[in-house]
Amino acid sequence: MSTPTPGDPVVGVTVNEAVATWSPSSLGLTGSVLEVVRAPHPVLALEGATVDPLDPTMLTLAADLIATMRVSPGCVGLAAPQVGVAVQMFAVDVTNHPKTRTCHGTFVLCNAVVVEATRQEKAREGCMSVPDLTGDVKRPTRLTITGILPGTTDVLRLTTDAFEARALQHEIDHCNGLLFLDQVAGAHAIYPRQVYK
């Protein structure tokens, strides 16, 4: 049986609802907290391999990404390369972020591809794999992507905006071997991370 790819047509799925109603409990697994690798670790520069969303190893990885994201203060997304696995998978949850407008809760996507991006806006980004720096990155404020939820085979088309769109693009970049530092306009747009007490 072949695994569908993000270019395949979507049949009979209301996409945003499918993502919003998916939950980590759908995996039937309790994830483990993994170590987050830091730049310049070489895995962060690799383009991730596509994954079979039904592979039990990938389902375990999905649960691990969620568990690791949840114990990391301020974390709104985590990609597989950040835990040392060069594959196309990431977790996102922007639920409690003050800049969130559209929110689909906690979800994991495999093999995500940007199919439409509009209205670029510059904003500050940080990353667990680059803990000492932040940077100004131009990203789309409205984004449409395709991808597959782990444990399913339907290729979904998800449209979102504002902070969730930024978080998705940041994680897709990780899956393609890019850090936010690769997207800044130059050294003038990189800053030491502020620590507030």
Q: Does the annotation mark 35 as catalytic?
A: no
pLDDT value, residue 55: 97
CA distances from 94 to 5, 55, 73 (A): 26, 26, 12
pLDDT value, residue 195: 65
> 116 φ, ψ to 5°?
-155, 135
CA distances from 57 to 29, 42, 54, 82, 171 (A): 11, 22, 9, 17, 20
pLDDT band (50, 70, 90) for residue 43:
very high
The fraction of the chain above a pLDDT of 70, given in percent, is: 91
* Catalytic, out of 35, 47, 116, 171: 171
Q: Is the pLDDT of residue 122 over 90?
A: yes
Report which of 77, 84, 57 is spatially closest to residue 150, judged by C-alpha positions. Answer: 57
pLDDT value, residue 23: 87
Mean pLDDT of the 160-166 span? 96
In residues, how long is the chain?
A: 197
pLDDT value, residue 7: 46
